[in-house]
Every structure is written in structure tokens, then in C-alpha cells.
Structure 1
Amino acid sequence: MQAVIALDIGTTGTKAALVEQNGRLLVSGYAGYETYAHSGDRIEQEPSAWWQATRDALAQLRQVADLRAHDLVGIALSGQMQDLILVGTGDAIGRAILYSDTRAKREAQEIDSQIDGEELLHLTGNTQDASSVLAKWRWLQMHEPDRLTATRTILLGAHSYVSWRLCGVASCDYTTASTTGLLNLNENEWATQLLERLGLDAQKLPRLAPAHEQIGTLTTTVARELVLPAGLPVFAGAGDLAAATVGVGAGEPNRSYCYLGTSGWIASTSPDTVQFSASDAGNGIFTLRHPDRQRLIRVAPMLTAGGNLEWVRGKIAEGMDYAQLNATAEQSPIGSNGTIYLPYLNGERSPFHDPNARACYIGISNQTDRADLIRAVMEGVCFGYRSLFEALGTTAETLYVVGGGAKSTIWMQILADVLARELQVVSQPENAAAHGAAIIAGRELGWYETYAPPGLFHVTRSYEPRESACATYEAQYGVFAAVYPQLKSTFTNLLNTQPNRLT
């Protein structure tokens, strides 16, 4: 049976998976890498670490499976979007600036003063702020012009960097492009006139490519390095949100889902006739291109979701693994003994735009213990998802869930109770993006006729909301929703006390 290798270059690591035509994931490998965070708003990674992790993950595949025994017909890709990766003559120049980086606050304000907000919204389909590539490109122009001068190509997704390493072709899929503020959403072309007005060189942008398109083949040198067949087709792939949308079975309309990884979102595919609505932007709703570039995905994103629990593991519960975190959280009652957590470690995108927002605990007393602090983070993230659910205005009674966080039974039960909705956890939720990448490539290979092929999506666990828990969380959500508006100016004032915060 034919199979593809799916590579998902995520926020914390790279996953490599061998996926057959029938959708079965046979084996996978994973390798992590470091994130460099400093000054409160600068978030970076080394592109070379993405490549090393790709090599290591593929090596793990070879340790448990003879890849030569399979009819390999391509490499499919997915990965984190809205990165800013400067590529010179040989490799990346410096670290990649990640999607969660919000250093370009001043530049975002300058763009607002130059370009009318309504014009920018209707051109790009989304409100642009300090997290957009548009602002961060301007930041580099102001602060690191030598890097830009040495740059031949700007890549915008981690998977695009890896595909460039695989086959030597620089490209960007339409979903990733639509997250950046650089794409004319209506025309499906780079917004070259906008970039010219801002003094940005559009010639440095890569070629736009449909996610399913074969953009090249594995070079002989790289094939030898990875122990794979030379000439293996490389498909452009799609940003992780698009790939996860397809991988959970929501690549066609009428199915909503939740992704709980380092970042998070609630999303669905819009019907073919729906166009983006400017009113969505006011609620923090993003309009992105579907892998089918004639369609749209409506998404309410959470800048930091599971990353909050990772922060707890590193700062409050050092030495605990995730199983221990879950077990400890279960020792705290519903409502965390009156402790509430705001999950805005790196600012927020939806249901409001505020790069200055920060995480905080409310209600700590001398009776609060570590179990309360851990559970409060889980509950706070779920309250954040409820705000996204309300912003989308969806009436879905069932929400499908993917991402690494879906492996936590306590977290999924909290989410079901907070949303008062049934949750369906998709089989192998941590592999949704890799699964989706394989389906997208499979369309080009003639395997499938739709983005939701029947028989490929399986549910492993279901969670029903509990009436008593729903009542407690309903009351606490009212408190949660009121906290940020009261602290908004405080967050800004606090950040203004930090030296060199705008440089």
C-alpha cells in the first residue's frame, strides 16, 4: 500500500509519521527543541534546530520500521505558522521570530498611523497587531537592517523552512500566508502595494503554493543524509491550523473542533459561498485560507493554551511529568478553592487583541496549595476556550478535540463542564496535524476526493458535561470574564515600567 511521510514542525518539537493511504498512522517519531524567550515579549527558535529535530524524528522511524519495505510516494508537511525566518545564501540568518512574539508594538502603532485600519482589515481579512509578520518585518527594518540586507528569502512557517531544506524550493501555503498580514485575502496574492507603501521588499517573499502541490523532490544530498529515496516528491504542505482542521475531519463544513496544544483555537470550515466578515475582527475572529484556496476557515485563536501548563510544570511544579500534574490537579475540587487564573502569558488575540495582557492568579489565600494552582491553570485555559466559543457564535452541541492536551482526562472533563458541551476526542489527537498533512497530499496523489474522506476519523473518548460542575463553572466564568477588562490598563502600565521594552 502506498504511504507518505508526514512531518509536523510544531512549537515544541518535530513529529515524523508514516501514514498509509487508508489513513492509518503506522509509526511515529518525535524530537524537541528549545524556545528562547526574553524581555517578556521576544520568542525565538533556531531554524537549524527544526532541521536537526526532523533528522532525529526520522531516525526514530527507521529504528522501528523498515521504510524501504513501504511504497513511499511523498513527504507531506505541516508546522507552526506566522514565523519570520530570514534565509541567506546558505541557511537561516539568526533565529526565527515566532508567532507568539509581540516585540513589534511600536511598529504596529506606526503601521496603524500610516494605513487606515479598515483598509488593512479588508485587504488582509484580519486585524493586524504586534504579533503579525507585517509589524515584525518593520521591526527588523528599524532594528536589524543588516540582517534584512543579507536576506534573500523570507520564509513564514517552520514547515516551509524544512521543505526548503528538503528540496531547495522556497514556498508558502495560502493558510500560512493569510496569518501574516502580507496576503491580499480576496486576490490570493501577496499584498505588494501595501508592502511598497511600508517600504518592505516584496521580492524577498517566497512563491505562494497550494498546500497539495508538489513543489519539488528530495535532493540527492539530503536523501543520503536522511536515508530516504532521492527524488521523493515533496508537497508544499499547510500550516498546522489548516492541517489539524483536515486531520480532525473538519476539512468540510459543519464540524467544529478545538485544538489544545502549546497554543490553541476553536475553528471550522466555512461553506464555499461565505466570505470574510469585517465584524468578525472585532471579536478576535480570524479568517484564514483553507487548503482549498477558494474556501475559508473561521478560527478563534488562543495565543497560549497548553503552554500555560508547561509554564506551571517549569516554574511551580518542577520535576513533575504530565501524569503527575494531572494527578495533583485532581486533588483540588471543582473551582480550585476559589482560585482563578488568566491564561495570557504572551498577550492574547481572541476574543480581544492585546499584546500587553498577561497571566495572573486571582483569589490566592493562605489555604491555596499547589494542587489548586495547577487545577486553576487548567480551568483558566478552559474559561479562555469558552470565550472563544462565544465569540465564534457557534451553536454546535458537540466539539471535537485534538492536540496533546486532549490526552488529559481531567482537562477534557473540565472543558466539557465549562463549555456545557459534549466533547469527542479524536483518535491520536496529538497526531492531527500530521494526519491532515497526509490527507492534503493524498488529494494530489489521487487517494481522496474530499478533505474529509469517510472512514478516516475515529473517536476514542467522549466526555459529557456534569450538571453540578457546570453550575459552579457558570458562576466562576462570570468572574473570569470580568477580570481582564478591569486589569487591562494595569497590564499596560506594568509593562511600561520595564526598561527597554520597546527596543
Structure 2
Amino acid sequence: MEFDALGTALGRNRLALVQKLISLDIGTSGAKAALVAQDGRLLASGYASYETHNPADYRVEQEPQAWWRATQEALAQVGARANLAAAADLAGITLSGQMQDLILVGADDTIGRAILYSDTRSRSEAEEISSRIGADRLIRITGNTQDASSLLAKWRWLDIHEPDRLAASRTMLFGAHSYIAWRLCGNASCDHTTASTTGLLDLGSNAWATDLLEMLGLDRQRLPRLTPAGESIGTLSALAARTLMLPPDLPVFTGAGDLAATTVGVGAGEPHRFYCYLGTSGWIASTPPDSAESSWATAESGVFTLRHPDLQRVIRVAPMLTAGGNLDWAGAEIANNEGYASHNATAASAPVGSNGVIYLPYLAGERSPFRDPNARACYIGLSNQTTRADLIRAVMEGVSFAYRSLFELLGANAEKLYVVGGGAKSTLWMQILADVMGHDIEVVAEPENAAVRGAAIIAGRELGWYKTYAPPDHFPVARSYQPQESSAAVYSSRYSIYMDLSLQLRSAFGKISDLGISSPPPA
């Protein structure tokens, strides 16, 4: 193991005592900490949230320091249930988190806020890059179409609009978990899954696309070290150990970006299982048996090819920029923040089909099955008979329609779709999803913990605990849902209308964007 090479006797002695890992997931809405046993059990967990900032249209930012404070709070909750400071059976800390963020690190800490994956301010820069390099050439190098959400365009945006901020930085990080790893051990690194979301990785060679950066005049010296998922990147610093009340010199494992960790955590780290992640953002993904370049993205496919924790494999994913975040928005603006249980009860009082109301879930643009940063959410079919219950249920149905379009885009022929993420806790939403998809839905036990479970499996495989990325008995199913014939028939006709509207309104979305409408300042 790499931490043997680090020369820490404590790390070597722990190897014989390995039974547990601390797993951290730095998500879009908050940080989760968990103590995970070798057999996959979550022995204790904690969670703390943080704020997302939208200072202007198309801009989405977070404070990296808020991630660190939330990590401390979540770990303190775990520590209240388990004596971590005195634990002799801890193998280390493993990580996962939101990917495709742009985080500038200076001498002491970050410089300004992190620019998140859903930020699409760099649309003109994306067009410039595509024109200069060529869209097909970008796909051949990176494995994916590059647009305003890519780090390639955001880096170019900083180069043009905030050169002083960029010049003050020493390195860049591209995932929230990479920032936390830096706080834990002082080393700047990036796992290959996260790197493959950025537009900065040569997917074929698993190396930074330095030639591409040189063509665009971007300084490759700011890139972090590429580190395979699961590898140890250092040990917990004395300062971090005191701050977090953890044993000193604890090995810190790279882990992987949230999509890879979730893929492994739901049992799809090996081929032939499709799953749906329903969180603030969302996706449908699988590990295909064939990772040949011929299966990579085409210009408008909306399917991403990401590097698997096993560097000889890929993960195929069709993502949504905003999934459960649509219900968060509707709950805040329509249902007065009455809480998740109340939203479900309200939606359940509306009929199947929401009395003809259809919702398009594009609050922050969309990536798949079409790419359009100008796309926006909307309700179609409102009348003077429309109720709040119709509006809330229509959001659940609209998001489910979007997932069906992703499933079809991937050409999935699986009989079952496994579901994880916070949205999977809603029994109503899961039944709607089964009816819309026309397939059985299997909710993985503790669906909100898939990423921390997956990060632990990735590190555990490096430690020699597991032979594959799908160890037996690690993925129990909590609930199953079968399509109801009458509801599925209603949704089949609604889905056809939904797909037509998605296509027909794209021109209107572009015209609305051209108006330059922005939110007025608060009174």
C-alpha cells in the first residue's frame, strides 16, 4: 500500500487491525460523514448543510470553507456515536464529492468561491474553444462534448475576466472532496473520474491534456496531481487531527468523484446494472462491458463517458443538471417550505397526470438528452382549476419523464432500475418513476448513503478487503415498485407530449436568454 511507502509506522500497524473506514461525501447540498465497517455496515453517520450562491444569471457558487465547516460538524456527529479519537481499527479516511467544480487555491486557502458544475457563465468561451479546437477533436481527446459547464471553458473565463484572481492562485482543484483532502493532508490531487468531467483529461491516455492547454494558453503548472481512486495521497496532518479530533497520521485515500462512488455504492461498479441517482442533480449510469473509444460521446448525444475507478474501464452516464432540486424549488416557492413529508402528502392528493399539468425540469439549463444552457423550467397546461397539489405532483412527474428520456438515450434494456439518492425516500415518487419508466424500481437500502458506501468500497479494494467493485451482500434492496398498468398508460401519453414540448420550446428558451433578463435586487 502507498501509505507504507510514506514511512509511518502507525499506518503500517493499522493494516493488521483494519476493520473500519471514515468515509466523507461532500455533496451539492451538504457534507456527510460515516463510519463504515469492512462488511459494508454504516456504524454511524452525520450530516451538515451549506449554502449555494447565485450572484447572477447562470452563476452557481459555494464557499469551500463552508464545506470544511460542514465536514467538521458531520464528523463531530459521528464522533458523538463512536470514539474515533481512540479507535485503533481505523484504516483511514476516504472521500467522495461533487465534481467539475473550479477551486482556486492560494498560499493559505482558496481565493474566492468555488465555481460549481452547474455554473454556465462561460458560454461564449465554450463557443470560442470549440471553434478554435474543433468539437470533434475535443471529443476525441476528452471523450466528451465540451460546453459551458466544462472546466476548460471556466478556466478560460477566469483568464479573460478575473486574471488577477487567477494569477494569485498556486493550484486548481476540481472536486469538493479534493479540497477537503487538501485540508486533511495538504496534498493537491484529482482522481481520474473527476478529471474526466473537466475537459482537461486525455481520456485515452489517462493523463492531463497538456497539448490542449498549451493551444489555449492555459498554465498546466496549476493542475493537481492525478491520483488513481483509492490510492493514499498522504496522512492526516497534526492540525487537521486536532481540529477533527481524530488519530494523527491517519491515511487519507483519494476516493473518487460522487458519480463513481455512487456507481460503486449501488452495485453498478461491475457491468450489467443500471441505476438512477435522484439527488439535487441526477443521472442514469452503468459500467458497460465495452470501454472502447467507439462508445464515447457524439456531438449532441448528451451521454458522458467518465473514467471508472478501474482505469481500464469507463462509466457511461446521462446526467440532469437539476433533478430533486426541482422539488426543493417548488417546496420553497409554492409549498412554503412545509417539509419533504408534507410535499409528498400534498402531491399524493393530486390525480395521476396532475390534471393535465406538465412540468419541464430545466431550472439551470440541461445537459442530456440535449445540451442547452438556456433551457429553463416551466409549467404547461395551467388552468383556473389547477391546484397546489397538481403543481407539486407535476414536478415529480416531469423529473420522472426526464429520467425516462435518459434511460432511452443510453439504450438501456435492463428489466430493473436501481435507485439511490435522497429522492428515493419518497414512496410516491418511486411509484411515479416505476409507472413512467415501465420498469421495476429497486430502491437500494439507505439510498442516501450510496456515495459514502462506494468510497469505502473503493478504498477497501485498495486495502485488499474486496476482489471486485461489487462485494457480495453489500447492496440490499429496501423497497421494490412495479408499474401499475392504468397509471403507466396515462404517463405514456403524457411522456410523448413532454418530449414534444422539450423540443418545441428550445427556440423560445434561446429568445428569452437573448433578452438578458435577470432577477431584480431585493427591495
TM-score category of the 2 structures, normalised to the smaller one? over 0.9
Contact 1:3 1:70 in 2 (8 A): no
Q: Is the 8 A contact 1:272 1:294 kept in 2?
A: no
In the alignment, structure 1 residue 392 sits paired with structure 2 residue 410:
yes
Residue 39 of structure 1 deviates from its aligned partner by 2.2
Q: Shift of residue 282 of structure 1?
A: 2.7
Once residues 450 and 272 of structure 2 are traced to their aligned partners in structure 1, the CA distance between those partners, rounded to angstroms, is 18
Measured on the aligned residues, the alpha-carbon RMSD in Å equals 1.2
| Alpha-carbon distance in 2 for matches of 1:250, 1:483 | 33
1:59 is the counterpart of 2:87? no
Given the alignment of the two structures, is residue 16 of structure 1 paired with residue 28 of structure 2, yes or no? no
Q: Which residue of 1 aligns with 2:354?
A: 336
Deviation at 1:69, TM superposition (A): 4.4
Q: Please state how far the C-alpha of 1:443 moved relative to its aligned partner.
A: 0.7
Secondary structure of the equivalent of 2:374? coil
State the alpha-carbon separation in 2 of the partners of residues 356 and 500 from structure 1: 13
1:39 to 36, 56, 73: 56
Q: Who is 1:322 aligned against?
A: 340
1:210 is aligned to 228
Gap runs ≥5 in structure 1: none
Separation (CA, whole Å) in 1 of partners of 2:269 and 2:361 = 28
TM-score when normalising by structure 2: 0.94
Residue type at the aligned position of 1:45: Q
Selected match of 2:172 from 151, 154, 171: 154
2:44 aligns with one of 19, 27, 50: 27
Alpha carbons 1:442, 1:448 under 8 Å: kept: yes
Q: Return closer, same or farther for 1:495/1:56 CA change in 2, 3 Å cut-off.
A: same
Q: How does 1:182-221 map to 2 (within 5 A)?
A: 182-221=200-239
Does residue 428 of the first structure (1) align with residue 442 of the second (2)? Answer: no
Are the equivalent residues in 2 in contact too, given 1:280–1:286 (CA < 8 A)?
Answer: no
- Separation in 2, partners of 1:424, 1:366: 38
Per-residue deviation at 1:277? 2.5
Q: Distance in 2 between matches of 1:499 and 1:419?
A: 36
Judge which range, 277-286 or 145-154, deviates more. 277-286
Alignment of 1:258-297 (within 5 A): 258-271=276-289, 274-278=292-296, 280-297=298-315
| Deviates further, 434-443 or 66-75 | 66-75
**Residues 289, 297 of structure 1: 8 Å contact kept:** yes
Distance (whole Å) between structure 2 residues aligned to residue 328 and residue 432 of structure 1: 28
For residue 498 of structure 2, what is the aligned residue in structure 1? Answer: 480
Q: From the superposition, tell whether residues 91 and 279 of structure 1 become closer, same or farther in structure 2 (CA, over 3 Å).
A: closer
Aligned partners of 2:206 and 2:115: how far apart in 1? 24
Shift of 1:93: 0.3
- The reply to whether residue 3 of structure 1 matches residue 14 of structure 2 is no
Q: Which runs of 5+ in 2 are unaligned?
A: 1-17
SS where residue 155 of structure 2 aligns? helix
Which whole-Å deviations, capped at 9, do the CAs of 1:208-238 have from their partners, x for residues lacking one? 0001100000001110110000000000110
Q: For residues 24 and 135 of structure 2, what CA distance do their matches in structure 1 show?
A: 37
Find the aligned partners of 1:111 and 1:41 in 2 and give their Cα distance. 19
User: Helix, strand or coil: the match of 1:344?
Assistant: coil
Quote the Cα distance in structure 2 between the aligned partners of 1:69 and 1:407.
Answer: 32
User: Does the CA-based 8 Å contact 1:275-1:296 persist in structure 2?
Assistant: no
| Corresponding residue for residue 299 of structure 1 | 317
The equivalent of 1:93 in structure 2 is 111
* SS of residue matched to 1:36: coil
C-alpha displacement at 1:408, in angstroms?
Answer: 0.3
Shift of 1:113: 1.5
In structure 1, the residue matched to 2:146 is 128
Letter of the 1:381 counterpart = V
Aligned residues: percent identity? 67
Q: What is the aligned partner in structure 1 of residue 482 from structure 2?
A: 464
User: Of the candidates 436, 446, 455, which is equivalent to residue 437 of structure 1?
Assistant: 455
Instruction: Say whether the 8 Å CA contact 2:101–2:174 is kept in structure 1.
Output: yes
Does the residue aligned with 1:282 lie in a helix, a strand or coil? coil
Amino acid of the residue matched to residue 394 of structure 1? A
Give 1:280 deviation, angstroms: 4.4
Q: Please name the residue that 1:377 is paired with.
A: 395
> What secondary structure, in the 3-state scheme, does the structure 1 residue paired with 2:77 have?
helix
**CA displacement 1:64-122 (0-9 Å, x = unmatched):** 22223461110010000000000000000000000000000111111111111110111
For residues 235-290 of structure 1, the C-alpha deviation after alignment (integer angstroms, 9 at most, x for no partner) is 01100000000000010001111100000000000225543534544321100000
Provide the secondary structure at the position in 2 that maps to 1:377: helix
Q: What is the identity, as a one-letter code, of the residue corresponding to 1:64?
A: R
Q: Which residue of 2 aligns with 1:405?
A: 423
CA–CA separation in structure 2 for the residues paired with 1:27 and 1:148 = 40
Find runs of 4+ consecutive structure 1 residues off by over 3 angstroms.
Answer: 272-276, 278-281
Number of corresponding residues: 501
Find the aligned partners of 2:156 and 2:292 in 1 and give their Cα distance: 32
| More displaced stretch, 492-501 vs 387-396 | 492-501
Distance 2:204 2:323 in 1: 30
- Of 470, 492, 498, the residue aligned with 1:452 is 470
Structure 1 length as normaliser, TM-score? 0.98
1:79 corresponds to? 97
The residue that corresponds to 1:226 in the other structure is 244
**Residue deviations 1:130-165 (CA, integer Å, cap 9, x gap):** 011111111111110001100101000000000000
Change (3 A) 1:81 1:497: same
Partner SS, residue 52 of structure 1: helix
Separation in structure 1 between the aligned mates of residue 223 and residue 337 of structure 2, nearest angstrom: 43
2:39 partner letter: N
Distance 1:35 1:500 in 2: 18
Bigger shift: 105-114 or 69-78?
Answer: 69-78
The answer to which of 35-44 and 426-435 deviates more is: 35-44
